[in-house]
Amino acid sequence: MTRLLYFASLRALAGKSEESLELGGETTVRALGERIGKTSPKLGEMILGKKVMVSVNQDVATLDTPVRDGDEVAFLPPFSGGAI
Amino acid sequence: MTRLLYFASLRALAGKSEESLELGGETTVRALGERIGKTSPKLGEMILGKKVMVSVNQDVATLDTPVRDGDEVAFLPPFSGGAI
Amino acid sequence: MSTVMESKVRIQREDFSVTGEIEAIKKVSRNIGGIVTFLGTGRELSKGENITQLNFEHYPNMAEKKLEEIRVKAIADFKIIDMSIIHRIGEIDIGENIVLIVAAAEHRTEAFKACEWAIAELKRTTPIWKRETTSKGEVWVQDTP
Amino acid sequence: MSTVMESKVRIQREDFSVTGEIEAIKKVSRNIGGIVTFLGTGRELSKGENITQLNFEHYPNMAEKKLEEIRVKAIADFKIIDMSIIHRIGEIDIGENIVLIVAAAEHRTEAFKACEWAIAELKRTTPIWKRETTSKGEVWVQDTP
């Protein structure tokens, strides 16, 4: 199982804050984005268009970063911490 | 009477922290420095050589600034406030 | 080096004490001569809108890891003695504390540089998000770095 | 504008509270988003000498007048909301607070600039003197600006 996390504004787009997926073998962030796009077209588009940052096991990832069973993949909209 | 104030390291040179002088009419910071130099040669030299700042009534003065009866003249070594 | 009671980077719901954090960092060295702090607080106005409340969310563990990276890099790059970084999450009212960065150094120039760099770096690299509540509703702020 | 309980520039023997001064300046406006503070503290080392105590002296009234000039100019030149400046005099031990400058602004960049300028200006223009006590005796520090 691979755990997917949606933060902040992406929660409304995904319709959930997290989910667990059965990957059936190694895949990539890109393939994951395509799969998400089937149920959430706008979110899939943002992932593939690099409008959101993706992390795999809390390290910043690219579309080519491999994703394996047991990984934690997070979709991160632009940060806005730090007050002003 | 004119009040003279000596601060910090100048106190030891003047041998006092303050004194009152009878000027006998208007004078200048320069003339005051010459007069002080008679009893405290090193201090007089520093005043005339602009090694110390002089204020008249708490405003920064030059050697030509007039000094009158009732004025407060202070001799200020280089500042060192503000911690580091 | 005294025992560290609490971590120097923290993300927490509760408020923090600026004096308390400064006193904690002072214990690190007797050679601290300048301490620069940045305190970010909730403003009422944002792009002309009147804000009634703020709400912060973070990615647990990853956010703390990023703050620690900022702290370590600031100490190394700016030759400061120590730094602490605290960010609050959850509901924040106008005027309340949001984020605190404390940079302690022998001299003030490095402390100013390190503190200013750290808050910019936090905004750029740390997965924390702000939601503003105005009369028009709630909106997640999408800051461009 | 709330009633000002105490002056925003002060020279005093007793210690001050950083949190207290920050909370006081927060009351000035609900639009403060960034507060930068500089806290100067007593260092153990100075030019290789081990310091055991510091002692500060000021020119009463003239020093306060200079601090107020710095405050007014900082607010005008850097477009900040407010500033407070507090300097202690008398005996100060290692690690103790000496001087505090608090700059409150809508945004952080101006607050950093104003605070850094103010401490440099204080050192340059304000009649305050520091005496250091080391194993070799007491010496008035003659800083070159």
List chains touching A (3+ CB pairs under 8 A). Answer: C, D
**Non-local CB neighbours of D15 within 8 Å, separated by 6+ positions:** D88, D96, D97
CATH level 3 topology of B2-76: Ubiquitin-like (UB roll) (3.10.20)
What tokens does C108 get? 């003030």
pLDDT tens profile C58-107 = 999 999 999 999 999 999 999 999 999 999 999 999 999 999 999 999 99
User: Would you list the DSSP string of A14-40?
Assistant: HTSSEEEE--SS-EEHHHHHHHHHHH-
Contact A81, C129 (CB under 8 A): yes
Residue showing tokens 């700042």: B53
**Residues of chain B positioned with their CB less than 8 A from the CB of D131:** 8
**Non-local CB neighbours of B49 within 8 Å, separated by 6+ positions:** none
What tokens does D47 get? 């030019």
Asked if residue C2 belongs to a domain, the reply is no
Asked if A55 has any chain C CB less than 8 Å from its own CB, the reply is yes
pLDDT of residue C142: 80
* Option in A74, A81, A84 nearest C129 (CB): A81
Opening angle at CA C48, ends C46 and C50, nearest 5: 65
User: What number is the average pLDDT over the span C12-17?
Assistant: 98
pLDDT tens profile C39-66 = 999 999 877 789 999 999 999 999 999 9
Asked if residue C1 belongs to a domain, the reply is no
What tokens does D36 get? 């930068």
Helix %, strand %, coil % of chain C (to 5): 30, 35, 30
Asked if residue D19 belongs to a domain, the reply is yes
**Residues of chain A positioned with their CB less than 8 A from the CB of D106:** 84
Residue showing tokens 């800083």: D143
**Residues of chain C positioned with their CB less than 8 A from the CB of B84:** 33-34, 106-108
Sign of CA dihedral D1, D6, D9, D15: negative
Q: How far is CA A55 from the centre of its chain?
A: 7
Of the pLDDT bands very low, low, confident and very high (cuts 50, 70, 90), residue D47 is: confident
Contact C59, C131 (CB under 8 A): no
Contact D108, C40 (CB under 8 A): yes
User: Is the entire prediction scored with pTM above 0.90?
Assistant: yes
Q: Which residues of D touch B (CB under 8 A)?
A: 40-43, 56-59, 61-63, 65, 87, 98-99, 119, 122-131, 140-145
**Residues of chain B positioned with their CB less than 8 A from the CB of D99:** 81-83
* Option in C42, C119, C142 nearest A80 (CB): C142
Asked if residue C77 belongs to a domain, the reply is yes
Q: How far is CA D25 from CA A83, C66, C117, D97, in A?
A: 18, 31, 24, 19
| Structural domain total, chain D | 1
3-class state of residue D138 by DSSP: strand
pLDDT tens profile B20-70 = 999 889 999 999 999 999 999 999 999 999 999 999 999 999 999 999 999
pLDDT for residue D4 is more than 50: no
**Host H or E run for residue A13:** helix A9-14
ipTM score above 0.85: yes
- For residue C22, give the chain D residue with the closest CA: D18
Q: What is the Cα–Cα distance from C21 to C4, expressed in whole angstroms?
A: 12
Q: What is the Cα–Cα distance from C71 to C117, expressed in whole angstroms?
A: 11
Q: Which of C85, C66, C98 is nearest to C21 (CA)?
A: C85
Q: Domain range spanning residue D64?
A: 9-140
B29 torsion bin: left (phi>0), alpha (psi -120 to 50), beta (else): alpha
Residue type, A35: R
Domain range list for chain A? 2-76
**Non-local CB neighbours of C62 within 8 Å, separated by 6+ positions:** A55, A58, A74, C127
Task: List the 41-60 stretch of D: residues with Cβ below 8 A of C.
Answer: 41-45
**Host H or E run for residue C76:** helix C62-78
Asked if residue D1 belongs to a domain, the reply is no
Q: Which of C77, C68, C81, C82 is nearest to C122 (CA)?
A: C68
